[in-house]
Amino acid sequence: MKSFQELELFEPLEKRLAELEYTTPTPIQAQTIPAAIEGKDILGCAQTGTGKTAAFALPILDFLGHEAPRAASGRPLALVLAPTRELAIQIGQSFHTYGKHVRFRQTLVYGGVGQNEQVRSLNKGAHVLIATPGRLIDLMEQGHVRLSDIEILVLDEADRMLDMGFMPAIKKIIAKLPQDRQSLFFSATLPPKIRELADQLLFNPFQVNVTPKTKSVEQIDQSVRMMDRCEKVDQLVKVLRGDDVLRSIVFTRTKHGANALTRKLEKQGITATAIHGNKSQAARQRALSAFRDNRISVLVATDVAARGIDIDDVTHVVNFDMPMEPESYVHRVGRTGRAGANGIAISFCTVDERDKLREIEKLIDQPLRIQNPGAKLNDTASKPAKSSNFGGRNGSRNNGSSSANGNRRPKKRFGKGGWNKRRATAKA
């Protein structure tokens, strides 16, 4: 594995990475950053938790660092599109963190809050624009955003944008971007519609695939507990009271289910907060910061609301309801075991949900360990209790360890030849 020094980033970025004690690039960073700095388009297949935000943020900051005079127009040079406001905010935080020693400004544009502050920030001039598609289109239509200087486009979590119905909005936005730009395209999965979009957007892309067949990250201990629906709350309380449970995210299928479950947990003395699309932006942010600060230990979330939640040290993910789409399973369990940490993901599965379980196992290409293979279930009226993997495999815990060690100080001059030269060579 390369070191960050070998990636020859803009020196203030190297300094910052050393401060953050990031010594080794994650696989997606090691592959993406050099290609992106050379100016290549990227097609990255990676889940959250793999370090993909830095994989695109560092090349953009490297570009801004080297091209400071070009940034003087005040118009955005880089556009990052993300499916949810939470993810947009987290990407903004990452740019802020990684770019601490780089002179640049960023603006965040997302719905669910008033637009005035965002417009004011745009008017002040921003080099990086991080946006959700709907609000960006609103502001473009009102003439507040000019995208004519964009040099780098990032589409993050493209598959989720498709699920959320953003494809028409994305196409509309992309039509307003200069043709001669670099595009970095990231998606956890590559279903046919996403491939089609990537084919339209990318020119001879460098492909990075850190999860060859949508596999859940290896450090996560994944298992399934079979049960009747009526047992779920009691079983959840038992799991959440476990000694090793510090912070957990519990997934429900519906917003209503999330609210109801939160109330039940609180009755049992477990501090929990629901996070879903019906909550105001402020309420969602409050819930996230309470969770970050350990004032609450359990977030009860729906799939859409939980996308992109980037909180370290989530020890447990519990699928209270099995996800409707198997891809969501990968996103859900990716909330734990982030960046080299271990994590535990437990799925509660009823007889009615077994088809969902099979779909997940097919997608991740591995059977999930059943914790209670001989469980006697009452909800078996409609279906026999037999299934492909209910034989009780004894999966073993995979103890991945963090890659961060060593202590080098970057002592390097500014990048060789500058960003543009490297880009020009790549385009030629």
DSSP string, 164-183: TT-HHHHHHHHHTS-SS-EE
Full DSSP string of 270-303: --EEEE-TTS-HHHHHHHHHHHHTTS-SEEEE-H
Cα four-point dihedral sign 34, 202, 94, 301: negative
Q: How far is the CB of 334 from ligand AMP (least distance, A)?
A: 8
Tell me if 48 contacts ligand AMP by CB under 6 A.
yes
Query: 3-state class of 198 per DSSP?
Result: helix
Q: How far, in Å, CA of 56 to CA of 36, rounded?
A: 8
Residue type, 133: P
**Closest distance of CB 329 from ligand AMP, Å:** 17
- Per the CB < 8 A criterion, the answer to whether 120 and 160 are in contact is no
404 in contact with ligand AMP (CB under 6 A): yes
The residue (of 157 and 231) whose beta carbon lies closer to ligand AMP is 157
Residue 315 interacts with ligand AMP (CB under 6 A): yes or no: no
Nearer to ligand AMP, 49 or 76 (CB): 49
Residues 124/144, Cβ–Cβ less than 8 Å: no
- CB of 98 vs ligand AMP, minimal distance in Å: 9
Query: What minimum distance in Å lies between the beta carbon of 395 and ligand AMP?
Result: 24
Which residues contact residue 208 at a Cβ distance below 8 angstroms, ignoring those fewer than 6 apart? 28, 31, 32, 35, 42, 43, 44, 45, 46, 55
Q: Which residue's CB is nearer to ligand AMP, number 35 or number 54?
A: 54
State yes or no: residue 53 binds ligand AMP (CB under 6 A): yes
Q: Quick check: 22 binds ligand AMP (CB under 6 A)? A: yes
Say whether residue 312 binds ligand AMP (CB under 6 A). yes
CA gap 121, 68 in Å, rounded: 19
Does 27 sit near ligand AMP (CB under 6 A)? no
**Considering only residues 340-369, where is the footprint of ligand AMP by CB under 6 A?**
none
- Of 331, 338, 356, 422, the one binding ligand AMP by CB under 6 A: 338
99 binding ligand AMP? (CB under 6 A) = no
Q: Is the dihedral of CA 171, 176, 181, 182 positive or negative?
A: negative
Tell me: does residue 50 bind ligand AMP (CB under 6 A). Answer: yes
Q: Which amino acid is at 397?
A: R
Q: For ligand AMP, which stretch binds (CB under 6 A), given 20-28, 146-154, 194-202, 363-371?
A: 20-28
Smallest separation, CB 217 to ligand AMP (Å): 10
Asked if 52 touches ligand AMP (CB under 6 A), the answer is yes
Span interacting with ligand AMP, options 45-53, 155-163, 206-214, 284-292, rule CB under 6 A: 45-53
Do residues 20 and 75 make contact, with C-beta atoms less than 8 angstroms apart?
Answer: no
Task: Please tell me whether residue 22 adopts helix, strand or coil conformation.
Answer: coil
Nearer to ligand AMP, 28 or 79 (CB): 28
User: Residue 113 to residues 116, 126, 273, 281: CA-CA distances in angstroms?
Assistant: 9, 19, 21, 7
* Contact residue for ligand AMP among 12, 25, 27, 205 (CB under 6 A): 25
12 scored as a contact of ligand AMP (CB under 6 A) = no
Closest by Cα among 338, 296, 287, 340 to 317:
338
CA distance 166 to 241: 39
Q: Given candidates 27, 34, 44, 49, which one binds ligand AMP under the rule CB under 6 A?
A: 49
Stretch in the footprint of ligand AMP (CB under 6 A) among 23-31, 75-83, 315-323, 357-365? 23-31
* HSE-CB of 82 using CA atoms within 13 angstroms: 25
| Sheet strand arrangement including 42-45 | 106-109, 128-131, 78-81, 152-155, 182-187, 42-45, 206-209
- Tallying the residues shown for the chain, one arrives at 428
Q: Which of 189, 182, 195, 153 is nearest to 170 (CA)?
A: 153
Q: Judged by CB under 6 A, which of 36, 37, 45, 54 binds ligand AMP?
A: 54
Kindly state whether residue 34 participates in binding ligand AMP, applying the rule CB under 6 A. Answer: no
Rounded least distance, CB 198 to ligand AMP, Å: 20
User: What is the closest distance, in whole angstroms, from the C-beta atom of residue 42 to ligand AMP in the complex?
Assistant: 15
Which CB sits closer to ligand AMP, 129 or 309? 309
Nearer to ligand AMP, 24 or 31 (CB): 24
> Could you say which of 8, 310, 327, 353 contacts ligand AMP (CB under 6 A)?
310
Q: Where are the alpha helices (DSSP H) in 22-115?
A: 27-37, 52-66, 85-98
Q: Tell me which stretch binds ligand AMP (CB under 6 A): 43-51, 78-86, 273-281, 348-356.
A: 43-51
**CB of residue 420 to ligand AMP, shortest distance in Å:** 26
Binding residues for ligand AMP, rule: CB under 6 A, are 22, 24-26, 29, 48-54, 310, 312, 338-339, 404
